[in-house]
């Protein structure tokens, strides 16, 4: 079964959170250890009220993976148990791009704290 999920971040039109063609919405919550999406809860609540499947994600900056995981969890604690958790692993703005151990450490920390394994999604990279 395939479902359409829309990635919503601060630069997205707010209407993306309620896209009638999408069954789910995953909202960018944090990046690194210093950025919180100012529209995260607005978009999350709009998607929830529209009956969408829900997710929140962290955009990896490539710093200390445990510090980034802690920052993410501190900012999404009210969504845990209701939304899937995710890690957005991209080459842009990511000092650890290519280091799969970074992802493993982040994922393991999130799992140890929540009992949930976050999804990892990554840019398309033609090789």
The enclosing domain of 111 has a CATH number of 3.20.20.80
Looking at the structure of the chain, the number of domains it has is: 1
User: What are 58-84's pLDDT values in tens digits?
Assistant: 999 999 999 999 999 999 999 999 999
Q: Which residues form the domain of 27?
A: 5-122
Q: Is residue 127 part of a domain?
A: no
Average pLDDT over the chain reads 95
pTM of the predicted protein model: 0.95
Residue 60 lies in a domain: yes
CA distance readout (Å), 2 to 5, 17, 123: 10, 19, 19
Residue keyed to tokens 């992802």: 103
Residue 33 lies in a domain: yes
- pLDDT for 73 equals 98
Task: Tell me how far apart the alpha carbons of residues 34 and 90 are, in angstroms, rounded to a whole number.
Answer: 18
- Strand (E) or helix (H) holding 38: none
Position with higher pLDDT, 1 vs 96: 96
Q: Is residue 39 part of a domain?
A: yes
């Amino acid at each position: 079964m395939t479902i359409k999920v829309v990635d919503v971040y601060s630069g997205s039109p707010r209407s993306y959170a309620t896209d009638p063609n999408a069954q789910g919405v995953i909202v960018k919550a944090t990046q690194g250890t210093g950025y919180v999406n100012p529209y995260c809860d607005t978009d999350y609540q709009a998607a929830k009220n529209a009956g969408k499947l829900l997710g929140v994600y962290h955009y990896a900056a490539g710093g200390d993976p445990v510090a980034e995981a802690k920052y993410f969890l501190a900012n999404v604690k009210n969504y845990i148990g209701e939304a899937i958790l995710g890690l957005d692993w991209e080459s842009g703005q990511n000092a650890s791009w290519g280091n799969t151990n970074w992802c493993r450490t982040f994922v393991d920390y999130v799992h140890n704290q929540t009992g949930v394994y976050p999804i990892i999604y990554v840019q398309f990279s033609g090789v």
